[in-house]
């Protein structure tokens, strides 16, 4: 297996083909065909229970921890079938990072939170010098705009940070292993408006270096903080296009009805 996924220019960051998913006998996704471009922010909107989070969790195979889940179809990351025997779960998780609805820092120091994924995935982690480890920590924290506020307390508990800082730290924890894709499941839902704005600004800074797929119930956030938008309903993709076009001139009446608040 290759150390990193390689793909020709123009390959979608994520591509699904006829993706279906069942929780036991309940079908949650129906023939989902999507192509998500690399290096941009794509938002995923739709009412509760429409399959947004299920789709997100399928892309890095978190969903398969549930023994009663069954899928058919294909999911590719950078052209690589994530279900292929050659693509081990640890490789998929290295390429596809996940940020959850509520910040989930580990009960460790800020420093050890940032290094956790690197120690788990990288073969040279045990032989790194202290200065190399310090460089990894500083680089990741600078990327998420946390360095200046935490540099003097790196050995303090991560759980002592504010919710905004914790969410930024959870993003920083992913960066040392250089994932290609960042999945974010309502990353601002537990934050106040000021912290939400800070995280949205961070997403725009990270876009380009990473492909970001964000699930949000907040349509204003989807409009502010994404290049493209996908509308899902009852487990199906209804519309996918440029965010501004989807909100201003939706092509499907169901999309227009949702944007106008005719159903939740």
How does pLDDT run across 162-180, given as a tens digit for each residue? 999 999 999 999 999 889 9
Q: According to the model, what pLDDT value does residue 4 have?
A: 58
- pLDDT range class, residue 86, cuts 50, 70, 90: confident
Q: What is the mean pLDDT of residues 222-250?
A: 97
Write the CA distances from 51 to 100, 128, 158, 212, integer angstroms: 16, 42, 32, 18
Beta bridge mates, 42: 213, 228
Instruction: Assess contact for 20 and 72: CB atoms under 8 A.
Output: yes
Tell me the domain boundaries of the chain: 14-101+178-259
Q: Which of 65-74, 169-178, 206-215 has the lowest mean pLDDT?
A: 65-74
Selection from 36, 34, 54 nearest residue 46 by Cα: 54
Selection from 179, 250, 181, 188 nearest residue 215 by Cα: 188
Is 196 strand, coil or helix? helix
d(CA 56, CA 185): 7
Which of 3.40.50.300, 3.30.420.480, 1.20.1250.20, 3.40.50.170 would CATH assign to domain 14-101+178-259?
3.40.50.300
Is 59 strand, coil or helix? helix
- pLDDT range class, residue 2, cuts 50, 70, 90: very low
Beta bridge mates, 230: 44, 240
The tens digit of pLDDT for each residue in 96-149 reads: 999 988 889 999 999 999 999 888 877 677 788 899 999 999 999 999 999 999
- Give the Cβ contact number of residue 132 at 10 Å: 12
């Amino acid at each position: 297996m290759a150390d990193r996924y390689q793909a020709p220019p123009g390959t979608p960051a994520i591509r699904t083909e006829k993706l279906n998913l069942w929780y036991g006998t309940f079908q949650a996704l129906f023939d989902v065909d999507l192509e998500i471009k690399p290096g941009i922010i794509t938002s995923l909107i739709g009412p509760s229970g429409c399959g947004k989070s299920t789709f997100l969790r399928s892309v890095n195979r978190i969903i398969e921890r549930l023994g009663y889940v069954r899928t058919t179809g294909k999911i590719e990351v950078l052209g690589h079938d994530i279900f292929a025997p050659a693509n081990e779960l640890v490789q998929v998780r290295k390429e596809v990072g996940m940020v959850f609805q509520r910040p989930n820092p580990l009960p460790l120091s800020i420093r050890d939170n940032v290094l956790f994924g690197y120690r788990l995935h990288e073969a040279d982690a045990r032989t790194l010098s202290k200065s190399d480890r310090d460089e990894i920590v500083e680089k990741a924290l600078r990327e998420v705009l946390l360095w200046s506020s935490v540099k003097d307390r790196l050995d303090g508990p991560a759980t002592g940070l504010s919710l905004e800082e914790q969410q930024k730290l959870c993003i920083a924890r992913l960066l040392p292993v250089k994932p290609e894709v960042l999945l974010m499941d309502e990353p601002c839902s537990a934050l106040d408006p000021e912290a939400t704005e800070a995280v949205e600004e961070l997403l725009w800074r990270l876009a380009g270096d990473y492909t970001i797929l964000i699930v949000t119930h907040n349509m204003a956030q989807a409009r502010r903080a994404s290049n493209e938008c996908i509308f899902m309903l009852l487990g199906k993709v209804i519309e996918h296009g440029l965010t501004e076009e989807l909100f201003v001139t939706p092509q499907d009446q169901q999309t227009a009805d949702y944007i106008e608040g005719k159903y939740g």
